[in-house]
Chains A and B, each alone.
Chain A
């Protein structure tokens, strides 16, 4: 279900450029300001989906720190570990592996030429 959700989102009609490819850091995250929200962009150049966009706010601490988390691969899923309490969120759909009550919003995101674009929901 989450997969089809992602697929639908990637069909977003309107895309907005948020930063350049050069701003991304491979195997790691950076944060962009996007329409009043903080969005963390994770860049994994060798993956089929090379860039992911998730909410920068950690629901547990309330701090805006997700973009500074460590990226990893757990049980077949790409995840980010929240830096303060180390809970893991799936990059694909923002679900928390340890706590079903926590989730991060995700955005459709793509790289067009040198631009990184976020899709408007």
Chain B
């Protein structure tokens, strides 16, 4: 085709509307090269260029019009598209094929209506100004903001998806927000009764008032607030502003006035090619009615835009065949998901339901009569189930044996749908209709980076809801293609921690230098490999970490055997085994804290943390503590921390075993054990579990007959209940199993991997671990026990060791050439103790003197 002649002969294409769908159509026309055939003109009624209406509420929480804008500012001009903003199309003259705007007449050969929808405001007496606000455009939001200026309370009429978004907007403006809904539940389209109830409970807990089954009859002047809304039945609610979000209506005025066929419930009637009753006019998005339905979501609008752009570009365009109205949202911070036949309306449909009234979570799984396919689902409170369920529905994947597991609280055993289970046709991103196959093609064509993949396929650039799934598919496909996912520890060692451990053990390597010379690169190492190898050496051979060859390996906390805090001072934690301490020792801790003016706090592990010591003070503090019989608590190391205990049968009327004695035995045995990450233990004297053993790496709970052992629990950022590993053990049997579990963990875990994550990553799971540890299926038992015994036998308090050696103490000097303390450390007093000064306070205090 000759470019010069085609430009001369280009047809005139006009798009009316510059919303999300209109804009997507322009993008698609550009991408498909359709602009070589058409001279494109776009009219937008609003002043702003197309923006992201889905994330409109972010306009009140920091986003400006420009960050919400779609595409770059120069996109249209750069491709020769004429964009007329703030210029509404008033009329379509179909006979002459012209549109009439406020500024003039423009001819077209093809016309696309993308005029969207407008908010429906029911006719209510007395509604005007601030009692008749809507939530649709940036101008609407400016009007809401203006009305909110000296308002205290705001009401949203409409408890659907957009209404709850609007309530969120009012809340972020600092108003007391209320939602008034005509139906007896929230989100009546997407949720069933129980789902609505769960959502209501969660939203009310956030301080938003919810008023259901209320029909507003009139709005009059209020007494305490600006307005009073009178409801049917005599009740009323006062408010300073009212936002209507009671549904949308297709903006089909141009279609009506120009005589296009319009559906009974509104919307320009289109066929499967998105053509209206006039073959020169298309309609896409919310202004169009297909098969009697208007689609108020962005994904179907995008798919119409794509089809029309493809047709105009001369491609074989797909037919529009309806849309999946499944949605996943965060409304007011609450996860809400609705998939397919959420109401179970299909004949013969049966449901599984999970109701958690304690945290107001609700999940419903709707399956077909045969029990083989998922038809739909409702999720309130946790959308982590959404992606998997959606894939079941969209791809007709057969249900697992126990379908309820799909909505039950997720534990390690729950079946999840891996990326490999999805067929190539599976839609990963429904906004841009990107299938798993398209992603695989992009990867095959050399796309090896996630950001690049998003750019190329557009996946995950719409609503962003598919981010997790996309990443999963991407990584799975890379691995499937044999792209080696580099597991090297760092640039100096092409080995994993586990491989390095085996090398140390098999070759009897005793130092980092030896390790680096034999298996690494360079002569120095780095802050990743040095501590890792240092930890492995300690786990295997348990030499004092302050030995000269080991010192430079430790991270700073290990080097100085204390925990560095934000201002460069240290905290000191003496070991208090099992949390048991004599009054005499308590007094010593108090005296030391007083003498060195240390901030003291009780830790979660039943010990006492002393904060604010400078480097040069550490040896003196420790010599006083060691003098009184304390040992280091290893709070600074990736090593055994504490063994928490309750008082057990000695004092407690419920206790069945001496939990303190067992905690002492355990702490004494494993103190100083270096491991891939920190280790926490607890022993409870009865099933009431006051020591919280089930949140620890190793948990022991007393029974009438002995001890139950729980393993691989965790608190903190990623809580995990420990799993019952063995029951009714005697003392020796318990220690034997703990020896084996811990050494097996040290041997096979990755760098900085807690036992909980290690356990979840173990192929074969808990059963496998039981076989190895209890049944000794690998024949490792005796070896693991012997290794542990070696470490136990070589235990020595690191601080006691360091204090005996002047060479080792040389490092504990703030300045090697001056006696002064660090002049950059400043404290203030608060609640009777000193604490680091905050940066903001610093300029107030020019000297190091404390402020009382």
Q: How far is the CA of A63 from the CA of B837 in the complex (A)?
A: 12
Q: Choose from A28, A75, A83, A84 the contact partner of B491 (Cβ within 8 Å).
A: A75
Contact status B551-A28, CB under 8 Å? yes
Q: Which of B527-561 contact A (CB under 8 A)?
A: 527-528, 530-531, 548, 551-552, 555-557, 559-560
Whether B526 sits at the interface, judged by CB under 8 Å, is: yes
CB nearest to A81 among chain B residues = B527
Q: How far is the CA of A84 from the CA of B560 in the complex (A)?
A: 14
Q: Which of A57-98 contact B (CB under 8 A)?
A: 57, 61-65, 68-75, 78-79, 81, 83-84, 86, 88
Q: How far is the CA of A66 from the CA of B174 in the complex (A)?
A: 44
Q: Choose from B560, B566, B814 the contact partner of A63 (Cβ within 8 Å).
A: B566
Contact status B559-A68, CB under 8 Å? yes
| With A68-B564, A73-B526: A27-B824 Cβ-Cβ less than 8 Å | no
Main secondary structure of the interface of A (DSSP, over half): strand
Contact status B818-A30, CB under 8 Å? no
Q: How far is the CA of A64 from the CA of B556 in the complex (A)?
A: 13
Whether A99 sits at the interface, judged by CB under 8 Å, is: no
Contact status A30-B531, CB under 8 Å? no
CB nearest to A43 among chain B residues = B552
Q: How far is the CA of A91 from the CA of B169 in the complex (A)?
A: 51
Whether A111 sits at the interface, judged by CB under 8 Å, is: no
Q: How far is the CA of A18 from the CA of B817 in the complex (A)?
A: 7
Q: How far is the CA of A69 from the CA of B552 in the complex (A)?
A: 10
Q: Choose from A28, A31, A73, A84 the contact partner of B815 (Cβ within 8 Å).
A: A31
Contact status B556-A63, CB under 8 Å? no
- Of the stretches B258-266, B291-299, B517-525, B647-655, the one at the interface is B517-525
A18 surroundings in chain B (CB, below 8 A) = 817
B813 surroundings in chain A (CB, below 8 A) = 30
Contact with A along B808-822 (1 / 0, CB 8 A): 001101111110101
Whether A25 sits at the interface, judged by CB under 8 Å, is: yes
Q: How far is the CA of A44 from the CA of B548 in the complex (A)?
A: 14
Q: Choose from B523, B552, B810, B820 the contact partner of A70 (Cβ within 8 Å).
A: B552
Q: How far is the CA of A78 from the CA of B566 in the complex (A)?
A: 25
Q: Choose from B491, B551, B557, B815 the contact partner of A32 (Cβ within 8 Å).
A: B815
Contact status A71-B817, CB under 8 Å? no
Q: How far is the CA of A81 from the CA of B491 in the complex (A)?
A: 15
Contact status A28-B552, CB under 8 Å? yes
Q: How far is the CA of A88 from the CA of B491 in the complex (A)?
A: 15
A69 surroundings in chain B (CB, below 8 A) = 527, 556
Contact status B552-A26, CB under 8 Å? yes
Contact status B822-A83, CB under 8 Å? no
Contact status B814-A31, CB under 8 Å? yes
Q: How far is the CA of A38 from the CA of B552 in the complex (A)?
A: 21
CB nearest to B560 among chain A residues = A68
Q: How far is the CA of A46 from the CA of B557 in the complex (A)?
A: 25
Contact status A73-B817, CB under 8 Å? no
| With A73-B492, A83-B556: A25-B530 Cβ-Cβ less than 8 Å | no
CB nearest to B555 among chain A residues = A70
- Minimum distance in angstroms from A26 CB to a CB of chain B: 7
Number of interface residues of A (CB under 8 A): 35
Contact status A44-B524, CB under 8 Å? yes
Contact status B555-A83, CB under 8 Å? yes
Q: How far is the CA of A71 from the CA of B525 in the complex (A)?
A: 8
| With A25-B810, A30-B811, A63-B567: A72-B525 Cβ-Cβ less than 8 Å | yes
| With A28-B552, A70-B527, A72-B525: A23-B816 Cβ-Cβ less than 8 Å | yes
Contact status A25-B811, CB under 8 Å? yes
Number of interface residues of B (CB under 8 A): 37
Q: How far is the CA of A109 from the CA of B824 in the complex (A)?
A: 24
CB nearest to A32 among chain B residues = B817
| With A62-B839, A73-B525: A38-B824 Cβ-Cβ less than 8 Å | yes
Whether B568 sits at the interface, judged by CB under 8 Å, is: yes
B531 surroundings in chain A (CB, below 8 A) = 70
Q: How far is the CA of A28 from the CA of B556 in the complex (A)?
A: 10
Q: Which of B484-536 contact A (CB under 8 A)?
A: 491-492, 522-528, 530-531
A57 surroundings in chain B (CB, below 8 A) = 824
Q: Which of B820-852 contact A (CB under 8 A)?
A: 820, 822, 824-825, 839
Q: Which of A26-40 contact B (CB under 8 A)?
A: 26-28, 30-33, 38
Whether A10 sits at the interface, judged by CB under 8 Å, is: no
- Minimum distance in angstroms from B103 CB to a CB of chain A: 49
Q: Which of B491, B566, B817, B825 has the most CB of A within 10 A?
A: B817
Q: How far is the CA of A61 from the CA of B567 in the complex (A)?
A: 7
CB nearest to A80 among chain B residues = B527
- Minimum distance in angstroms from B610 CB to a CB of chain A: 19
Q: How far is the CA of A63 from the CA of B615 in the complex (A)?
A: 13
CB nearest to B522 among chain A residues = A73
Contact status B824-A23, CB under 8 Å? no
Contact status A64-B822, CB under 8 Å? yes
Contact status A72-B815, CB under 8 Å? no
- Minimum distance in angstroms from B524 CB to a CB of chain A: 4
- Minimum distance in angstroms from B653 CB to a CB of chain A: 48
Q: How far is the CA of A95 from the CA of B568 in the complex (A)?
A: 21
B568 surroundings in chain A (CB, below 8 A) = 61, 63-65, 68, 84
Contact status A84-B564, CB under 8 Å? yes
Contact status A74-B551, CB under 8 Å? no
Q: How far is the CA of A84 from the CA of B564 in the complex (A)?
A: 8
- Minimum distance in angstroms from A23 CB to a CB of chain B: 4
Q: Choose from B524, B817, B839 the contact partner of A19 (Cβ within 8 Å).
A: B817
Contact status A31-B816, CB under 8 Å? yes
Q: How far is the CA of A104 from the CA of B522 in the complex (A)?
A: 25
Q: How far is the CA of A17 from the CA of B621 in the complex (A)?
A: 32
- Minimum distance in angstroms from B547 CB to a CB of chain A: 13
| With A18-B817, A30-B811, A30-B813: A70-B824 Cβ-Cβ less than 8 Å | no
- Minimum distance in angstroms from A9 CB to a CB of chain B: 21
A19 surroundings in chain B (CB, below 8 A) = 816-817
Contact status A72-B824, CB under 8 Å? no
CB nearest to B554 among chain A residues = A70
- Minimum distance in angstroms from A12 CB to a CB of chain B: 19
B824 surroundings in chain A (CB, below 8 A) = 38, 57, 62-64
CB nearest to A25 among chain B residues = B811
CB nearest to A27 among chain B residues = B552
B491 surroundings in chain A (CB, below 8 A) = 74-75
Contact status B524-A33, CB under 8 Å? no
Q: Choose from A71, A75, A81 the contact partner of B552 (Cβ within 8 Å).
A: A71
A68 surroundings in chain B (CB, below 8 A) = 556, 559-560, 564, 568, 615
Contact status B551-A25, CB under 8 Å? yes
- Minimum distance in angstroms from A115 CB to a CB of chain B: 11
Q: Choose from B524, B552, B818 the contact partner of A78 (Cβ within 8 Å).
A: B524
Q: Choose from A26, A27, A74 the contact partner of B526 (Cβ within 8 Å).
A: A74
B810 surroundings in chain A (CB, below 8 A) = 23, 25
Contact status A72-B559, CB under 8 Å? no
Contact status A61-B555, CB under 8 Å? no
Q: Which of B560, B564, B568 has the most CB of A within 10 A?
A: B568
- Minimum distance in angstroms from A114 CB to a CB of chain B: 14
B814 surroundings in chain A (CB, below 8 A) = 31
- Minimum distance in angstroms from A109 CB to a CB of chain B: 13
B530 surroundings in chain A (CB, below 8 A) = 70, 72
CB nearest to B813 among chain A residues = A30
CB nearest to B816 among chain A residues = A23
B559 surroundings in chain A (CB, below 8 A) = 28, 68
10 tightest CB-CB pairs across the interface, nearest first?
Answer: A72-B526, A63-B568, A27-B552, A73-B524, A81-B527, A33-B818, A83-B556, A23-B816, A70-B527, A65-B568
Given contacts A19-B817, A79-B526, 17 further A-B contacts (CB under 8 A): A25-B810, A28-B811, A30-B811, A32-B815, A33-B817, A38-B822, A44-B524, A57-B824, A61-B567, A61-B568, A62-B567, A63-B568, A63-B824, A68-B564, A70-B531, A72-B524, A83-B557
A residues near B, CB below 8 A?
Answer: 18-19, 23, 25-28, 30-33, 38, 44, 46, 57, 61-65, 68-75, 78-79, 81, 83-84, 86, 88
9 A-B pairs (CB sep. < 8 Å): A28-B552, A33-B815, A61-B568, A63-B568, A65-B564, A70-B556, A72-B527, A78-B524, A79-B526
